[in-house]
Amino acid sequence: MMKKILLPTDFSDNAWNAIVYALKLYKNQKCKFVLLNTYTPMIYNIDYMEINGATANVVNSIRETSEKGLNDVLTKIQKKFKNPNHSFTMLSSFNTLVSEIKELHQENIIDFIVMGTKGATGLTEILFGSNTIHVIKNVKCPILAVPSGFGFESPEEILFPSDYEISFKQKHLQPIIEIAEPYTSRVHFLNVSFGNDLTDTQIENKKRLESSFKKIAHIFHSVPNQNVTDAIARFGLKVDINLLVMINNKHSFFENLFFQSKIHQIGFHLNIPFLIIPSKV
């Protein structure tokens, strides 16, 4: 089945870097890419002002800038990444990013998102940009967030931390399998334990993982008495991880870890691509 991948762009270097990552990651797979730019002029508020000629001119000017930017991006892609497996459409939308993505997903125009995130470069900076946070929180579609400046690496080693509390379904695991299979990746399942045995439910969920990944190299790891962020950071020192994967389950450790505002509350720098899969898709 052909993948339908959304590439949001604000025409920044960060957004272009994520586009390049997506094109290289899926270079051998047939994909339909949607290049999206959204715009909402600051002066425009339908509740409080009339739409007059001056306002319309501003909107038209911003739309033209958006459309030109998308054309420039597509021209750049076609010059640098000619690939018969890939087709492109462009979408310039007077909408918020989250609302537009929701509509595209509901209409089955996209099934996957690759977008850039500025990442964290210092203690006072947030882990994700606000756009990325809003998309992760509100869109029920897998999202691959690519850190600013990250050069493409084949995802040979994939880290998937899990508490085995999720009843894994194929829709949760298929995005990982679709990445792992072409690259003969090895998937590391990392569980943090605190002296208690796994419950029957956790054991059953772990068996589901084992069954789903039977054709893909995988290893189960259990580390005792660490918080998850420390466990991820320490694991990354032992194995050169190219991709981090998590399922965004409400009230799970995912929310506690990654929706904090300051990097020092999280405890490690996210410097590799991060695939976030919603528990409800």
Q: Give per-residue pLDDT as tens, 260-278.
A: 443 334 434 568 899 999 8
Instruction: With beta carbons less than 8 A apart as the criterion, state whether 136 and 28 touch.
Output: no
DSSP string, 105-141: HHTTS-SEEEEEE----STTS-SS-HHHHHHHHH--S
Closest to 224 in 3D by CA, of 253, 196, 190, 193: 193
Question: Is the model's pLDDT at 59 over the cut of 50?
Answer: yes
Pairing assessment for the beta strands 143-147 and 274-278 based on DSSP bridges = antiparallel
pLDDT tops 70 at residue 40: yes
| Cα 276 off chain centre by | 5
Percent of the chain topping pLDDT 70: 82
105, 96, 164, 165: which is closest to 134 by C-alpha? 96
- 177-192 mean pLDDT: 96
Residue 13's SS3 state is helix
Q: Is residue 56 very low, low, confident or very high in pLDDT (cuts 50, 70, 90)?
A: low
**For residues 248 and 279, is the Cβ–Cβ distance under 8 A?**
yes
Average pLDDT value for residue range 229-252 = 84
The span from the CA of 274 to the CA of 118, in Å, is 12
In this predicted structure, the answer to whether residue 242 has a pLDDT above a threshold of 90 is: yes
Cα→Cα distances 91→35, 37, 94, Å: 6, 6, 10
In angstroms, what CA-CA distances link 227 with 49, 108, 161?
Answer: 51, 38, 12
pTM of structure? 0.87
33 pLDDT band, cuts 50/70/90, is: very high
User: Picking from 6-10, 116-120, 211-215, 243-247, which range would have the lowest pLDDT averaged per residue?
Assistant: 116-120
The pLDDT value given to residue 108? 95
Question: What is the average pLDDT score of the chain?
Answer: 84
Is a pLDDT exceeding 50 seen at residue 218?
A: yes
What pLDDT was estimated at residue 267?
Answer: 36
Between 198 and 230, name the one with better pLDDT: 198
pLDDT surpasses 60 at 259: no
The pLDDT value recorded for residue 281 is 60
Please report the sign of the dihedral spanned by the C-alpha atoms of residue 216, residue 184, residue 29, residue 73: positive
Strands 86-93 and 112-117: unpaired
Q: What is the pLDDT of residue 266?
A: 40
Q: For residues 252-268, b (16+ Cβ closer than 10 Å) or e, as one string?
A: bbbeebbeeeebeebee
Provide Rg for the chain, Cα atoms: 20
Cβ atoms within 10 Å, residue 280: 9
Model confidence pLDDT, tens digit, residues 69-113: 999 999 999 999 999 999 999 999 999 999 999 999 999 999 999
Q: How many CB atoms lie within 10 A of CB 23?
A: 21
Phi (first) and psi of residue 132, to 5 degrees: -65, -45
pLDDT at position 109 is 96
Amino acid at 115: M
Instruction: Render pLDDT for 127-160 as a digit per residue (tens, 0 to 9).
Output: 556 677 778 878 889 999 998 889 999 999 999 9
Q: Is the pLDDT of residue 55 over 70?
A: no
Asked whether the predicted pLDDT for residue 231 surpasses 80, the reply is yes
